[in-house]
Each structure stands twice: as structure tokens, then as C-alpha cells.
């Protein structure tokens, strides 16, 4: 028997955490992420532990920036490792800051591993659209073992679409075009094989993209796998869509009106959590000069985390 009056347990101060569903305006859709707004005193080991405990695709840690050209520092973790950029995690951190009344402007600049990230709030009567503006991405052709990738995805070569070539994004994601929605819905990947290929080819993830969509107003539908990052299948991957927009434009599948093109992308329907993203490109001479990815978000949980 333990006498609680004779035992002294020192507990650290609880850490506020906020869970946000991103790429949706209703709970239990889109991609969930966790935001920790007071992360300045946390060690990297503690951040990794928290991200593993939260066990969602992205956990954002917001802290003071040491750079004069950034408002805040943002670190992002999957359940297994830190990443340079995660779109839905960035939006979750921004939305949590907004709800906590910590944003003094509709523009915020985050310092992150991949460099500065510009974020802008667009306010409407029915809510806010959060726009991410990463540096303009440039994709490069994939020169890795495509047959091995298809084998790990359990897709025949005939499943690939002929409308865009395989490319690798700045975040090291492989973009693959597929023929239609039926192909996109089919894969039950060999996750161990895909993880091994991800490590061998230095890829973060594998993104399959169909131009056939669930809703007529949308332009693309995609799925994203990153098992070696602790994400067997990501529900909605925001970061890949800036590159995806540039990829579509360069392949001739987007038509700009004046100097602008905007489209809706679908993700997550097959996992029962439909997400919708807005992708906007500024175009000059047929090439993208700027890209933004926009989304809505909703808070689903506020709580406290105890580290001991």
C-alpha cells in the first residue's frame, strides 16, 4: 500500500495542445494535425516524443524566431521524424494561433527548416481561408527504378497516365499520373517495399494523381503514401499541391485567364475524410511565377499535455 501523503511527485506545467482538422470546414473530415503553441522550452527529443504520442501525420511546434525577417519559428514532425515542410501542419499551427488571438496581422512569416514560409489570411463571412505561399517549386524528372515503384504500389504499367511524366518535387515527393479514378482507388501497396524504396531513392513520399475527379468542379484527385515517415497513407497532403500545380501547368493541363489560374484539388475521399484544397498560380509567359495553396480549417479538440 502506498501512502500518497508520503510521496512527492513533481509535475511539469501542462502544455496546451490544439487538434485541428485541415482542408475542411467541418469536423472529422480533411487531415487532422496538432499544434503546440508554447514550444520554446521543449527539447527536440520532447518534440519527437509528443509527435509520436499524438500519432497524427503532422504536429506543429510554434516558437519565437531568431530571424529578423520572420515572425515565428515553426517546426513540424510526423510520428517518426522532423520534416522540412508540411502544408496541413502549417495551416493547423496558423489556425491555432488565430483562434488563440496571437496574430496581430493577416500576414505571418514562419521560419522553418526549408526557409521562410509566407502565410496570408483571407477573411469571409463564413470563415477564413489560410493561404500558404512556399518558394516557387521546380520539379525534376524521376530517374529512379519506376518498375520497382509500380511493383511496390501493386500497379501495372498500364495504370499510369500518359498525360504527365513522373517528377520529383523539392520536398522529394514522386508525382505519378494515373489513368483514372478506378486506378487511383485500386492500390493496396506493399508498405514495407514502398518504405525501402523511399529510403533508397531518398524520397519523402509517393503521390498518385488522377485528372478524373469525384466532383465536376475539381481538377485533380490524389493519394499520398509515406510509410517510412510513419504515414502509411496521408489523408490530405498540402505541401505536395504547390508542386502539383506547377506540374499540371507545365504539362499543359491548366489554362490561365490573364495571368492567373485557380483550381480545386481533392484528396482523402477514399479514407472517409474528404479534403479540398485551392491552388492558385500566377503565370507569365506560360510559366508559373508564384503559387499558393489555400484551405479552411476547424478546431476539434483543446487539451493539455503532461510530460511528467
Name the percent of the chain lying above pLDDT 90.
Answer: 91
Asked if residue 289 and residue 144 are part of one domain, the reply reads: yes
Task: Tally the domains of the chain.
Answer: 2
308 has a pLDDT exceeding 90: no
26 has a pLDDT exceeding 60: yes
pTM to 2 decimals? 0.92
**Does residue 9 lie in a domain region?**
no
Asked if residue 178 and residue 107 are part of one domain, the reply reads: no
**Does residue 8 lie in a domain region?**
no
Asked if residue 199 and residue 264 are part of one domain, the reply reads: yes
**Does residue 5 lie in a domain region?**
no
**Does residue 1 lie in a domain region?**
no
Q: Are 56 and 34 in contact (CB under 8 A)?
A: yes
2 has a pLDDT exceeding 50: no
> How far apart, in whole angstroms, are the C-alpha atoms of residue 132 and residue 121?
9
**Does residue 6 lie in a domain region?**
no
Torsion of CA 165, 273, 122, 278, to 10 degrees: 20
| Full residue range of the structural domain in which residue 239 is found | 140-294
Instruction: Report pLDDT digits (tens) over 107-166.
Output: 999 999 989 999 999 999 999 999 999 999 999 999 999 999 999 999 999 999 999 999
Which pLDDT belongs to residue 135?
A: 92
Asked if residue 202 and residue 57 are part of one domain, the reply reads: no
Asked if residue 188 and residue 103 are part of one domain, the reply reads: no
Asked if residue 157 and residue 37 are part of one domain, the reply reads: no
Asked if residue 278 and residue 164 are part of one domain, the reply reads: yes
Asked if residue 178 and residue 35 are part of one domain, the reply reads: no
Residue 35 Cα to chain centre, angstroms: 14
**Does residue 179 lie in a domain region?**
yes
Q: What is the mean pLDDT of residues 20-40?
A: 97
Asked if residue 158 and residue 66 are part of one domain, the reply reads: no
Q: Are 305 and 50 in contact (CB under 8 A)?
A: yes
**Does residue 7 lie in a domain region?**
no
**Does residue 156 lie in a domain region?**
yes
Asked if residue 149 and residue 222 are part of one domain, the reply reads: yes
Most distant CA atoms of the chain, gap in Å:
78
CATH number of the structural domain spanning residue 112: 3.10.310.10
Asked if residue 290 and residue 146 are part of one domain, the reply reads: yes
Tell me which long-range contacts 12-16 makes (C-beta under 8 A, separation of at least 24).
12/306, 12/307, 12/308, 14/304, 14/305, 14/306, 15/42, 15/50, 15/304, 15/305, 15/306, 15/307, 16/302, 16/303, 16/304, 16/305
Asked if residue 157 and residue 128 are part of one domain, the reply reads: no
* Mean of pLDDT over the chain: 94
Amino acid at each position: 500500500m502506498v501512502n500518497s501523503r508520503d510521496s512527492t511527485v513533481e509535475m511539469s506545467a501542462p502544455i496546451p495542445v490544439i487538434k485541428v482538422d485541415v482542408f475542411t470546414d467541418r469536423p472529422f473530415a480533411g487531415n487532422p494535425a496538432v499544434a503546440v503553441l508554447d514550444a520554446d522550452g521543449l527539447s527536440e527529443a520532447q518534440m519527437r516524443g509528443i509527435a509520436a504520442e499524438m500519432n497524427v501525420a503532422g504536429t506543429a511546434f510554434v516558437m519565437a524566431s531568431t530571424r529578423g525577417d520572420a515572425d515565428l519559428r515553426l517546426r513540424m514532425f510526423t510520428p517518426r521524424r522532423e520534416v522540412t515542410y508540411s502544408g496541413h501542419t502549417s495551416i493547423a499551427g496558423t489556425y491555432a494561433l488565430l483562434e488563440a488571438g496571437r496574430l496581430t496581422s493577416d500576414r505571418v512569416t514562419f521560419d522553418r527548416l526549408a526557409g521562410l514560409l509566407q502565410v496570408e489570411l483571407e477573411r469571409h463571412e463564413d470563415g477564413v481561408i489560410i493561404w500558404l505561399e512556399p518558394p516557387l517549386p521546380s520539379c525534376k524528372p524521376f530517374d529512379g527504378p519506376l518498375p520497382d515503384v509500380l511493383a511496390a504500389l501493386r500497379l501495372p504499367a498500364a495504370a499510369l497516365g500518359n498525360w504527365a511524366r513522373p517528377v520529383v518535387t523539392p520536398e522529394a515527393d514522386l508525382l505519378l499520373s494515373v489513368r483514372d479514378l478506378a486506378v487511383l482507388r485500386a492500390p493496396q501497396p506493399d508498405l514495407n517495399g514502398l518504405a525501402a524504396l523511399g529510403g533508397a531513392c531518398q524520397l519523402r513520399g509517393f503521390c498518385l494523381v488522377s485528372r478524373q475527379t469525384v466532383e465536376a468542379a475539381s481538377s485533380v484527385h490524389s493519394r499520398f503514401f509515406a510509410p517510412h515517415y510513419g504515414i502509411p497513407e496521408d489523408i490530405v497532403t498540402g505541401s505536395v499541391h504547390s508542386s502539383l500545380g506547377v506540374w499540371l501547368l507545365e504539362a499543359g493541363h491548366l489554362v490561365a485567364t490573364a495571368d492567373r489560374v485557380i483550381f480545386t484539388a481533392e484528396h482523402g475521399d477514399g479514407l472517409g475524410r474528404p479534403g479540398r484544397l485551392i491552388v492558385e498560380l500566377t503565370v507569365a509567359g506560360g510559366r508559373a511565377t508564384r503559387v499558393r495553396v489555400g484551405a479552411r480549417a476547424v478546431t476539434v479538440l483543446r487539451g493539455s499535455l503532461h510530460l511528467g
